[in-house]
Chain A
Amino acid sequence: MSGPLGLGPGGVVAPPASSLRAYLPIVVASVVLALVPLSLGGSRYFLSLGVHLLVVASYAVAFNLVFGSTSQLFLCQGALAGAAAYCSVILGNRYGLPLWLTIPAGVGLAALLGGGLSWVAVSRRLEVIYLGIVTLAFSLVFTNLLLGGRELTGGETGLVVDGGAGTWLRSPAAAYYLFLALLVGHLVVYRAIERSRLGWGFRALRDDEVAAALAGVDVARAKVTAGVVGAAMLGSVGATFAAHEGFVSPTTFAFGEVDVRVLVVLALGGVGTLLGPVVGAVVVTVVDELLRPLGQLRLTVYGVVLVVIFLGFRQGMVRSVRSLWMRAGTRAGPRTD
């Protein structure tokens, strides 16, 4: 039912019907990303940069599921990831529990919080912007809880993570592939949902919630499911990242550090597209890195570059490139006259 390259009517990407075409982009992206460390010659700095790229991309996939698929503006991605991370670290440090127990516990907490926020939005019929305000407030409350609960969270100084110390988790190369596996897992989950009955419901409610409900879509359930799954994704990355870094503090998951970056990445790559988060994360990381020598001027130039990119790719890079590709294909195609 979708057009060439999976571009559906109205320019919105419809998931391809065949499984091969649906998952091929994930395979290609993961192979390309898997080869990156080989070209970096084992540089710890670049591997660490790669880990950050993969972490941001994974956050963005989760946000894409919540916002891109069901129009729920969660401005608390850092808080959800942080809740999972702190939960995992506190359970590990205080009770000596292993990571394989503490990380799922953290993911569970994030899922519960995400589902709760979605449920509030649905039951109070909050529109996009109001949910944005509620989740932003949640984000601020979370940061203040971390700062205030010094005995438990270490306050501003944060906590050293015992779990994973001295293991392969702290090695940049191993961590790179671990986070790549997480990103691929997120992309597979995103695609599988997109192609499922639930994904059909997402597409319908994203277009028109009232029409979707009148057609039989359980809008409330779909939104809460998106909130739970998206928050679980955020939690899995946050908790794993804490175990890799060996240290957590409020700044690790601050609004400016996570949410703003993820918003830019997703808007740049393309909201509602499969590979938009990955493309956005690569572009933002590369631009950021290229501008590093500029020192104090870096942030200013970075902002200007992003504005220029946004103006050039208003639908996001993935959609814009796909449209250009299709237009080129149409021009080069056989003439019928």
Chain B
Amino acid sequence: MAILELRGVTKRFGGLPAVDDLDLDVAPGRVVALIGPNGAGKSTLLQLINGLIAPTTAGAIRFEGRDLLGRSPHEVRRMGVATVMQRPRVFTSMSTLEDVAVGARFGGGERLREGPATEVAAEVLERLGLGARRDVSVAELTLHEQRVLELARALAGRPRLLLLDEVMAGLNPTELTAFVELVRSVRDDAGLTIVWVEHVMRAITALADDVVVLALGRRLAAGSPDEVMRDPRVIEAYLGRGAQRC
């Protein structure tokens, strides 16, 4: 049974479809990469799932059989769906430990008090290699560290589905390799399901089990990373009609 089901999901902005009659099933424990040219509707889709964008124009989104439509972001989070955004959104008045503790205190299904939440946060930071920076202001962290921090905050609430929105953007090759390994270990340790919007193909081929290609809000192709990369429709969508003849 799919942990996440999308049926006929459609979202229009002023009549223009950002996501158009999309069906998608994500099996538990899989890493599903959503790729496609700019404007394909990838990030819109993630924001429909996590509640940041108001309910879809049509269709249904179900997580573990429960409807997500019309739920606010905090409700979706407490149901077990965590998100890491493209631009790190950190709590600048807090220390690294406090920032992650917010995820532990509010993100899980249970109401944790300050002490246990801080313990969970410290444990997650250690696991992700950011333990030594726990008392540093988040404003002092590097971009890579802020991404790890956001991942830690997401994991502190013990999610079952993780939505990643272009989290590899802006990282240098070393940081990219490290982040891919981090996401892989997180997936293996926690048995997480991941839906991942990404442009960095090197990261996708290293980590994704399945790739879904979107174009103009519709599903263009789906399959393993190798299959999708060789698909002529995908090459055309990314590089234009003449690309295959070159």
Contacts and interface: CB of A to CB of B under 8 A. Distances in A.
A216 B91 contact: no
B106 A215 contact: yes
B72 interface: yes
A66 B183 CA distance: 39
A14 B74 contact: no
B105 A200 contact: yes
B153 A215 contact: yes
Contacts of B51: 213
Interface in B106-156: 106-108, 111, 113-114, 118, 135-140, 153
B159 to A, nearest CB: 10
Nearest to A217: B106
Contact of A1 (B97, B105, B138, B140): B97
A207 B78 contact: no
A200 B102 contact: yes
Interface stretch (A4-12, A146-154, A263-271): A4-12
A14 B93 contact: yes
A9 B89 contact: no
A216 B94 contact: no
A220 B52 contact: no
Contact of B74 (A200, A203, A217): A217
Contact of B93 (A12, A197, A210): A12
A62 interface: no
Contacts of A201: 106
Contact of B95 (A1, A200, A208, A220): A1
B139 A10 contact: yes
A203 B93 CA distance: 8
Contacts of A212: 91, 102
Interface string A21-38: 000000000000000000
A201 to B, nearest CB: 7
Contacts of B160: none
Nearest to B89: A211
Given A9-B138, A210-B89, A215-B107, A203 B72 contact: no
Contacts of B107: 215-216
Contacts of A204: 91, 94, 102, 106
Interface string A197-240: 10011011011101111111111100000000000000000000
Contact of A206 (B72, B93, B136, B139): B93
Interface residues of A, number: 25
Interface in B50-100: 50-52, 72-74, 77-78, 82-83, 85, 89-95, 97-98
Given A200-B105, A215-B153, A208 B89 contact: yes
A110 B94 CA distance: 33
A20 B159 CA distance: 36
Nearest to A195: B114
B103 interface: yes
Nearest to B112: A197
A10 B108 CA distance: 27
A208 B91 contact: yes
Given A200-B102, A215-B102, A216-B103, A207 B91 contact: yes
Given A207-B94, A214-B73, A216-B78, A10 B157 contact: no
A241 to B, nearest CB: 34
A214 B138 contact: no
Nearest to B75: A218
Given A8-B93, A215-B77, A197 B111 contact: yes
A211 B108 contact: no
B106 A216 contact: yes
B102 A217 contact: yes
B50 A10 contact: no
Contacts of A203: 91, 93-94
Contact of A208 (B52, B90, B98, B108): B90
B94 A8 contact: yes
A217 B157 CA distance: 12
A200 B101 CA distance: 9
Contact of B92 (A207, A210, A219): A207
Contact of A197 (B74, B85, B95, B105): B105
Nearest to B117: A200
Nearest to A17: B114
A197 B116 CA distance: 13
Q: Which 8 A-B pairs have the closest CB atoms?
A: A9-B137, A216-B106, A12-B93, A211-B89, A216-B107, A213-B73, A207-B91, A216-B77
Interface of A: 1, 8-10, 12, 14, 197, 200-201, 203-204, 206-208, 210-220
18 contacts: A1-B98, A1-B118, A10-B137, A12-B92, A200-B106, A207-B94, A208-B90, A213-B73, A213-B77, A214-B74, A214-B82, A214-B83, A215-B103, A215-B153, A216-B74, A216-B78, A216-B105, A216-B108
